Amino acid sequence: MHNPSDALLKPLTIKNVTIRNRIMSTAHSSGFVQGGLPREQYRRYQEEKAKGGIGMTMIAGTSSVTPDSPNKEAGHVDISTDEIIPYFQELAKVIRRHGAAVMAQLGHMGRRAIWDRDYWLPIISASTIREPTNHSFPKEAEDWDIRRLVKGFGEGALRCKQGDMQGVEIGGAYMHLVEQFMSPLSNRRTDKYGGNLENRTRFLVEILESMRAHAGDDFVIGVRISGDELRKGGLTQDEALIVCRDLAERGLVDYLSVMGGEAQDHISHPTAMPGMSYPVAPFLYLASAVKQEVDVPIFHAQRITDVRTAARAIADGHIDMVAMTRPHMADPYIVNKMKDGREEDIRPCVGANYCIDRFYIRGQARCLHNPAMGREREIPYVFSPAEKKKKVVVVGAGPSGLEAARVCKSRGHEVVLFEREAVTGGQINLAAKAPRHEALANVAQWLDLQVRKLGVDVRLETEADQGAVLGENPDIVIVATGGDPATAGVKGAEHAASTWDILSGTVAPAEHVVIYDDNGEHQAPQCAEFMASHGAKVEFVTHDRAMGQDIGLTEAALYRKNLYKLDILFTPDQKLIEIYPEGNRLVAVLQNAYTDEEEERVADQIVIENGTLPRERLYFGLKEQSSNQGEVDLHALIAGRAQSVVNNPDGAFQLFRVGDAVTSRNIHGSLYEAVRLCKDL
């Protein structure tokens, strides 16, 4: 399609609601809700998408309609009392004043919850089957449970209407309570709510009838539903089509939001929330099949990451509304940039699933390479000009250096960026060489494009020593020289290779390999998968309790799936303490983390991953000549004030370091550090 905006900018009217274009954000968990209420952080997050031109945003993902869906402590919206109404009214006002529509999702987690949160009430489900991810043992819902739940959904719909929401949807996917009734995987009941498809759907039908009775026929009501659970013994595509047809023909729904998969255990999560390991729009066919069967609008979300794919999905008649939820985390201004003919400036969603995985690990979603997402009060999307134009020298064009250069130039400073390699990107270029992670290269490519369009003086293949830096007569020097692989202090580490050596192609994988991970992030699993896919027999050893201790649910599951397929041996709870040669092979001495007992492995190659140690020679060489001698006022940094420390009145420039030049961290941490510092310089 020549112009993607042609299809995407057509309004869609559902009952009395007109949505200005065909792009939306689905309901999802962000962790920005406080005490069950959408306060300032959540409002600002949603408002930015409305300012950016989105047609509609669906709020309150994984909300609670009754108190026994414990979500308040997990950062979800509580719709079970009237306290929510004024907060919804304020949120609706903020979003709608920018021209976007806003609806809310009503939900209940059922057994997909942690029981000892909030009110410590029994977890309920269709049947008493332990939930594999959160490990809850649910109570089988009794007749009075079902009555109060049906009523809770109805009252929740009314509260949404009173809160100026323009519609609601039932969260009937991702193996939440409604799907737990519908799916044979979780419903073993023998009463009228179990057994055949009609019985398993009865709970959903009664909920919809209750919502209609409470909110009225003029209020928009939809259902998010799985078009195929894609799991042996689960809800099939044929069954899902029957359900969708029935709901539409009975006038119970005004739209259907169709997705693929379910989310009852670890391995099903990455299917339901497909990331960079999956092709674009992998389950569009399921939504398209439903659209051929029903006469209500069809919404769809699952890895539609660019506007041209979105436009084809609409123009070719597969769906009526395309959801670009994670892409709007990466860039909430997708629609406005598209309308302005600036597609190349859209910060791309690379499908790293850092947003989802960080929510599971740390309780708040973050975008891998958009540090402003969730920090809208702190970090602007458009930078204000600096009061005084300065000369800024940035050394190192990895993610932190590129971001520092982008932000400083955006504020009007003159910026010189030195990079010793022939290309920008730093360690991102290594990570992109790992199997299934090629899309990470887009992070570096977007940053590179932006700094060049802004007019940053980029000098590649230039090793910046003190003389080169001082020769620019800088006002500010930002050292982003990155780090070098660390060795975890292992005796005999000189005999080992690093994950960098392997992924860069400097060292080829040997036949029998021990890889030792003392990091817990992506690097070691990436390298292990790379080596095994090239024929190596790999033993993965870690000091932690399990591989990838700090990797979130979706990516960790895919690593395990692929590494098991590659016949990798996992050895947790072991510390690598020594390496020594024996003939033409190497011996790894392992020590149990709990008993201190030692054992040995004989291998052709040993690979160590222990993060990085900073390349700090340039920084310390410049430190005494700088006015601040490298000191950062942390209170000013946190508060968003300019750095004004003066330790050396004779210093001609301020000196800072960011990213791995400080200490080992990930892409997001490096970018956040750079923008947080540079936006106020």
3-state secondary structure of 142: coil
Flag whether 121 is in a domain: yes
In this structure, are residues 503 and 526 in contact, taking their beta carbons and an 8 Å threshold? yes
Condensed to tens digits (0 to 9), the pLDDT of residues 109-145 reads: 999 988 888 889 999 999 999 998 888 899 999 999 9
462 and 503 share one domain: no
Flag whether 375 is in a domain: no
Nearest to 446 by CA among 403, 410, 411: 403
Q: Which domain holds residue 548?
A: 487-610
Give residue 36's pLDDT. 93
Flag whether 530 is in a domain: yes
154 and 243 share one domain: yes
Flag whether 59 is in a domain: yes
Condensed to tens digits (0 to 9), the pLDDT of residues 376-406 reads: 999 999 999 999 999 999 999 999 999 999 9
Give residue 70's pLDDT. 80
Q: Please report, for the domain that includes residue 292, its CATH number.
A: 3.20.20.70
Domain count, the chain: 3
Question: pLDDT confidence of 1, banded at 50, 70, 90?
Answer: very low
Nearest to 106 by CA among 49, 43, 177, 42: 177
Q: Can you read off the two tokens belonging to residue 605?
A: 């190659």
Residue 308 has pLDDT above 80, yes or no: yes
Bridge partner list, 491: 578
Cα(97)–Cα(50) distance, integer angstroms: 9
139 and 175 share one domain: yes
Nearest to 659 by CA among 481, 393, 465: 481
410 and 557 share one domain: no
The chain-wide mean pLDDT, for the chain, equals: 96
Flag whether 371 is in a domain: no
In whole angstroms, what separates CA 494 from the centre of its chain? Answer: 37
In this structure, are residues 123 and 111 in contact, taking their beta carbons and an 8 Å threshold? yes
Condensed to tens digits (0 to 9), the pLDDT of residues 615-673 reads: 999 999 999 999 999 999 999 999 999 999 999 999 999 999 999 999 999 999 999 99
Place of tokens 């201004």: 333
Neighbouring residues of 10: CB distance < 8 A, sequence distance ≥ 6:
21, 22, 314
Condensed to tens digits (0 to 9), the pLDDT of residues 157-199 reads: 999 999 999 999 999 999 999 999 999 999 999 999 999 999 9
180 and 323 share one domain: yes
Q: Can you read off the two tokens belonging to residue 2?
A: 């020549």
323 and 451 share one domain: no
Q: E strands of 62-110, at which residues?
A: 101-106
Give residue 84's pLDDT. 97
Element at 516 (helix H, strand E): strand 512-517
Give residue 117's pLDDT. 85
Flag whether 652 is in a domain: no
How do strand 17-19 and strand 255-259 relate by DSSP bridges? unpaired
Phi-psi region of 305 (alpha: psi -120 to 50; beta: other; left: phi over 0): alpha
Residue 116: CB atoms within 10 A of its CB come to 11
Condensed to tens digits (0 to 9), the pLDDT of residues 588-618 reads: 999 999 999 999 999 999 999 999 999 999 9
Give residue 363's pLDDT. 86
Q: Please, where are the H alpha helices in 376-423?
A: 399-410
91 and 186 share one domain: yes
Give the DSSP letter of residue 148: H
573 and 524 share one domain: yes
278 and 149 share one domain: yes
Flag whether 376 is in a domain: no
Q: Please report, for the domain that includes residue 410, its CATH number.
A: 3.40.50.720
Orientation angle between helical segments 441-454 and 399-410, nearest 10 degrees: 30
Nearest to 44 by CA among 407, 384, 379: 379
Q: Please report, for the domain that includes residue 540, its CATH number.
A: 3.50.50.60
Task: Please spell the DSSP secondary structure of 554-574, one letter per residue.
Answer: HHHHHHHHHHHHTTPEEE-SE
Q: How many CA atoms lie within 13 A of 546 on its CB side?
A: 10
Question: pLDDT confidence of 414, banded at 50, 70, 90?
Answer: very high
Give residue 124's pLDDT. 96
Residue 2 has pLDDT above 80, yes or no: no
Q: How many CA atoms lie within 13 A of 644 on its CB side?
A: 5
Cα(617)–Cα(625) distance, integer angstroms: 14
Tell me the mean pLDDT in the region 284-295: 98
Rounded to two decimals, the pTM is 0.95
Residue 233: CB atoms within 10 A of its CB come to 9
Element at 646 (helix H, strand E): none
Residue 554 has pLDDT above 50, yes or no: yes
454 and 517 share one domain: no
Bridge partner list, 514: 539, 606
Residue 135: CB atoms within 10 A of its CB come to 10
34 and 151 share one domain: yes
Residue 294 has pLDDT above 70, yes or no: yes
Cα(529)–Cα(96) distance, integer angstroms: 47
Flag whether 134 is in a domain: yes
270 and 346 share one domain: yes
